[in-house]
A and B are shown apart, each in its own frame.
Chain A
Amino acid sequence: MSASNESTTGTATAETTKEVDALRKVARELLESGAVKMVIGYGEGYTQGKVMPIFLTDPEEVNRLIFDKRCVNNLATYLKKPEIRAMGKVAIVVKGCDARAINVLLLENQARRENLVILGMVCEGVGDPAEEKCLSCLVNTPPVYDHLFGEKIPARGWNEETFAKVEELDAMSPEERWEFWRRHFDRCIKCYACRQVCPICTCTRCITDKNQPQWVPTSPHPMGNYHWNLTRAFHLAGRCVSCNECERACPVDIPLSIINLALVKAVHDQYGFIAGMNSEDSPPLATYKEGEEQEFIK
């Protein structure tokens, strides 16, 4: 045991790509000029081989920034954090899926465009093996950015595999489907990691925290777990950008992405809408148009 251990904040890797070099250069300029108060990016993690979000205010630290296949986290979630909002203008490193989340935040007035410098990374997919979300990525080139690092590439796009699990569940009988989810929700411990990690869960007071009356039971019993997991999913209908952070953060690995994808598919089938592709299109579930079909209201 020694008091003079090396720094525990992680060290930069020796080899970098030209995209990361360019990213560091821009980050340095932004911090040195005072254009932003902070750069949010990825750095080497505490755990060997993992990455972690880093928050740079000192231009001398920009060499800690990295970008590679391990950078799975959606950093856009920090834009809802009061401590970050209080900073004023910040720069943020994003992949395409993260940038879609920013588009949703902009659309919903949860972030101000003028307070963001978006450092977009062209991304061929993250994770080793590749994350499932990456196999159907719509945005290998981020749909919104101020600086782009890497050559633009076409998106992989949805394919027959994208909704395969949803279709598999749809093919089940209601009893089988119920059993499938009962088995998975049974593990839920109500830690709300799925909510906390989600960049789109921006409510400052979640409905499950409202207790007069208590709309969603806080107990991790079967009813409470169904209630919570379905409420969470429904509130993300037409808003979820399929970054799959909820499933990644879940300590008991509930396959939340299947529920999310079912809703993504439903919203697309009904309204031709995909969340986060831009920050202008009206979200179908929060928009009323005169002359809309009304027959479903009895």
Chain B
Amino acid sequence: MAISIHANNFQTLFDSARDAGYRVIAPVRDHTVTLFKPVEKADQIVLDEILPTKSPKEYFLAEHEPILTYCRDKSGKVSIADPSLEEVMQPTLIFGVRPCDAAGPEIIRKVMTWDCDDQFFLRRREASVVVAIACVEADDACFCTSVGQAPDGTEGADILLVPSSDETGAVQEYLVQPVTDKGSEFIKATKGWKEGNPSRAAACDEVKEKLQKRFDPDRVREWLDAGFDDPYWNTATLSCIGCGTCTYLCPTCHCFDIVDEGDLTCGSRVKNWDSCQMCQFTLHASGHNPRATQNERFRQRIMHKFKYYPQLFGVVLCTGCGRCQRSCPVDLALAKLVERIYQLACEPVGT
């Protein structure tokens, strides 16, 4: 039996999710940007943009997370305590996520379960239900289909809503596709859903047509295998100012730094987002920096996404969301650079 939901029933859904113990996270306007934040009212949420400014990555990999606290008492005895996992384990509905953003944490999961299991990440993942909404629009920065994703992709989603537009193009109804068992159970446990199809067909064919593949990541990787010292890197990224915006907004960048914060008696060890585009990211205690220039740091970003991660885990570390282009203050579009690498890879040898 088909299931659908009308936008008028989002409030019912949110209320019933809260009754079931979930906090509700969705894209809302904050000043001039759109961020995933806790919401009360369904009319606060913003679903008509290509993408929110930030991905919902922070609800899996927190921007800032204490991982232990320490204290030394007057006798000099040191006690160490684990952080409370209450917030980490809190059931969370993350609503209105685009498929590229939903896929991000699923791709990161591979490294988060690689040599050890990152409990913070995994427990957050376990405690959350991701309701994705398929795209009906894309801009020039979007390139999900080039990296194996799709505007109606289901990777990382528990439920996918496929928009059904009325004759004016406005979306009020959605066809509901449960993707995981967790998603099916969530539908059973909450209200607002309706049996039957939306009144008009739900599809995103137009946007699929628009999102032609721009490069083949396998050919890109082959070029990168031999291209570490290629002169291409000397000039291609000279405009990069090393601001790290692309990494912080990226749904798949997951590097973090661990620092101790506190005074002589008490403090905490915290995990904070970090970026390979920062000059001190690889700075050694000796003063030597193996990635001394911004060109090398940008190369690392492309290498990590299109060579190292695929080699290790069989998947490109990119979902094609295009934030790295939209938010770059110098319009240095990563996908354009990868497109160029693809062209270089396709050129006959010797030319």
Point out residues on A near B: beta carbons under 8 Å.
1, 3-5, 8, 45-48, 50-55, 73, 77-78, 81-84, 183-184, 187, 189-193, 196-197, 205, 209, 211, 214, 217-221, 224, 245, 248-249, 251-253
B270 contacts the other chain (CB 8 A): yes
**B residues bordering A, Cβ < 8 Å?**
30-33, 35, 53-54, 63-64, 140-141, 212-216, 235, 238-239, 241-245, 247-249, 257, 259, 261, 270, 272-273, 275, 278-280, 292-295, 325-327, 329-333, 336, 339-340, 342-343, 345-347
Contact of A251 among B215, B295, B327 (CB under 8 A): B327
In terms of DSSP, what is the predominant structure of the interface of chain A? loop
Instruction: Decide yes or no: A77 and B241 within 8 Å by CB, A5-B343, A189-B248, A251-B327 being known contacts.
Output: yes
Structural contact, B35 and A55, CB atoms closer than 8 A: no
Name B343's contact: one of A3, A78, A205, A253 (CB within 8 Å): A3
| A168 nearest CB across to chain B (Å) | 16
CB A15 to nearest CB in B, in angstroms, measures 21
Give A130 Cβ to nearest chain B Cβ, in Å. 17
Select one of A4, A183, A196 contacting B242, CB under 8 A.
Answer: A196
Shortest beta-carbon distance from B247 to chain A in Å: 8
Known: A46-B336, A55-B238, A193-B245. 10 other contacts (CB 8 A): A1-B215, A5-B339, A8-B343, A46-B325, A55-B235, A190-B272, A191-B245, A191-B247, A218-B257, A252-B30
B347 touches A3 (CB 8 A): yes
Q: Shortest CB–CB separation between residue A177 and chain B, in angstroms?
A: 16
Chain B residue with Cβ nearest A249: B329
Contact B275 A191 (CB under 8 A): yes
Among A82, A183, A189, A253, contact of B32 (Cβ-Cβ < 8 Å): A253
A-B contact pairs, 21 of them (CB 8 A): A3-B345, A3-B347, A5-B339, A52-B332, A53-B239, A55-B238, A73-B329, A78-B239, A81-B241, A82-B292, A83-B238, A187-B30, A193-B243, A193-B245, A193-B329, A197-B241, A209-B280, A219-B270, A249-B241, A251-B245, A253-B33
Set of chain B residues within 8 Å of A55, measured between Cβ atoms: 235, 238-239
A248, B329: Cβ atoms closer than 8 Å = yes
- Given A1-B212, A218-B272: A249 touches B257 (CB 8 Å cut-off): no
